[in-house]
Amino acid sequence: MHPELIYLGPGATTAYIINNGRLHSEQLISGAKKFSDAFAGKYSLAPYVITGLRQDVFFDKQNHRFGRVPTYGTSIEDFPVKSMEDAFDLNNIPGELLTIQSTTNDQYIALFKTSADDSTAIYTLEPDQNIVAADFKKAAPETGLNKAGSFACSPILPQLYYSNGNSIYLYDIAANKARELYSFPDSEKLEIFKMNGNDGLVAATYDGSHSTVYLFNLASTGNIEGGAPTKTFTGFDHIIDISYKNK
């Protein structure tokens, strides 16, 4: 076993495991006690689930396409051929997947690195709408999105936070623009950051000996309040992942 993702869906009715790119499901509402065999087909899934009320969507790395599993489904189905209403072709997604993030209004964004011009392709999906392929745009190479290390989407604003080098940036999805928010000391390496609730960020750095945890509050504009952390915690061993819970 090599599970890349263990996922429990909303309402705790369906659970998924993606193991070595293969999809397994468990229908908890039926009282199932174990996960299914791997879904049939030639595919290799990325470790993300785009969750909808009537279907869940997955990205197939092997065939560079999105596929759908209807509620309580037992197979990965193709999307219909691209229509004039679709912003992009769900069955033909070039490039290297960087991340998939949930954002506002039940939307998801999928970022792909394109080798042709070093830009980042940004696909917006709405799994509960008749038109799932909702929007497509390209972010310019100067945003640094194609070289980002960590990603985190705001759940209340159409904004994406990402790290590039030792700095945290904010990408405004609607405006298609990015700006630097905070740069960590040169003596520390930014390892990871995540959203902390709806209006905060938590980050961990490493200086070669110890890690430091930073907490940031976010303003209504998405910027870091005061341009600086509100709290720091020092003296940790090397942190490579983080989950922070407020008291």
The structural domains of the chain, with segments of one domain joined by +, span 152-247
pLDDT in tens, 93-137: 999 999 999 999 899 999 999 877 778 999 999 999 999 999 999
CB 95 within 8 A of CB 70: no
Q: What is the pLDDT of residue 115?
A: 75
Q: Which tokens sit at 22? A: 């293969």
pLDDT digits (tens, 9 = 90+) for 194-224: 999 889 999 999 999 999 999 999 999 999 9
Q: Kindly give, in sequence order, each residue whose CB lies less than 8 Å from that of residue 45, ignoring residues fewer than 6 positions away.
A: 18, 21, 22, 23, 58, 59, 60, 61
Report how far Cα 105 is from the mean position of its chain's Cα atoms: 15
Confidence of residue 71 (pLDDT cuts 50, 70, 90): confident
Predicted TM-score (pTM) of this structure:
0.91
Nearest-angstrom CA–CA distance, 108 and 242: 23
Predicted confidence at residue 89, as pLDDT, reads: 97
31 has a pLDDT exceeding 70: no
pLDDT at position 122? 95
The DSSP-derived string for 106-139 is T-EEEEEE-TTTS-EEEEEE-TTSS--EEEEEEE
